[in-house]
Amino acid sequence: MDVIVAFENQTARAAKAATSELPVVFVHVTDPVADGLVNSLSRPGGNLTGFAGLGDVPAKRLELFKELVPRLRRVLVLIELQDPVTRRVREEVERAGAALKLRLVEREVSYEAAIEGVFRSLKQGEVDGVFVASPNLYSKFSSLILRLASERRLPLVSHWKGWVEQGALLSYSGNLRSVGGDAARYVDKILKGAKPADLPVQELSRFELVINLKTAKALG
């Protein structure tokens, strides 16, 4: 093995913990500096570099949610504070919520019973939709969260189209085909002698909005 390609923050953290020698190119991560993956975007240092979703992506996700669901007024925001990138995502979503005049109902969840408890405690009409703010929740609890949201007929938005394929209303994130090509170019440079420490972390430039039309129709 000459180069590791790691997808999203959780996998990139695992790769960083596993080796300090093999080069790692990460893709589709959020705020790699805050997550401790690199020292800075311009000079990563260490053995990791790659492509990150920065800027106002979570805010744009909430804006698109509001456009697609005009009746949206109150949004349940699921966060996992153990996820290092959650703080920044949370801040961006809160700013966007204020600008969109949305009431955000934030709930911290990190285990199955907590998620079930959040949905069980919701009163009829208390929220109009669900925003999953923490990427780690996909790998751990996506099926559970989607089932509970569906039972209450609540549209759901998240960062990754895998949620949409399972029944979420929409996702907005970096275009994986474009990111894959970018990652391949960085891998090629590393195989030709470049060091990850000297390759700046690049911001994702192409994004994709994925909508589940079946879910949209079912929600009316």
Write out pLDDT tens, residues 73-131.
999 999 988 777 787 888 889 999 999 999 999 999 999 999 999 999 999 999 999 99
Q: 16 and 68 share a domain?
A: no
Q: 73 and 168 share a domain?
A: yes
Q: 69 and 47 share a domain?
A: no
Q: 111 and 10 share a domain?
A: no
Q: Tell me what percent of the chain is helix, strand and coil, each rounded to the nearest 5.
A: 45, 20, 35
pLDDT of residue 54: 58
Distance in angstroms (rounded) separating the CA atoms of residues 153 and 130? 10
Q: 107 and 215 share a domain?
A: yes
55 pLDDT higher than 70: no
Give the residue numbers spanning the domain of 104.
57-172+210-219
From residue 57, how far is each of 89, 93, 127 by CA, in Å? Answer: 9, 9, 22
Please give the tally of structural domains in the chain.
Answer: 2
Q: 142 and 188 share a domain?
A: no
Q: 138 and 127 share a domain?
A: yes
Using one digit for the tens of pLDDT, what is the confidence trace for 150-202? Answer: 999 999 999 888 899 999 999 998 777 777 888 999 999 999 999 999 999 99
10 Å CB burial of residue 27 (0-12, 13-18, 19+) is buried
Q: 179 and 97 share a domain?
A: no
pLDDT of residue 19: 96
Name the pTM for this structure.
0.82
Using one digit for the tens of pLDDT, what is the confidence trace for 2-18? Answer: 999 998 888 899 999 99
Q: 71 and 98 share a domain?
A: yes
Distance in angstroms (rounded) separating the CA atoms of residues 181 and 216? 31
Neighbours of 122 (CB within 10 A): 16
Q: What is the CATH number of the domain that holds 192?
A: 3.40.50.2300
Q: 44 and 70 share a domain?
A: no
User: DSSP for 16-69?
Assistant: HHH-SSS-EEEEEEE-TTTTTS-S-SS---TTEEEEEE-TTHHHHHHHHHHHH-
Distance in angstroms (rounded) separating the CA atoms of residues 175 and 96? 22
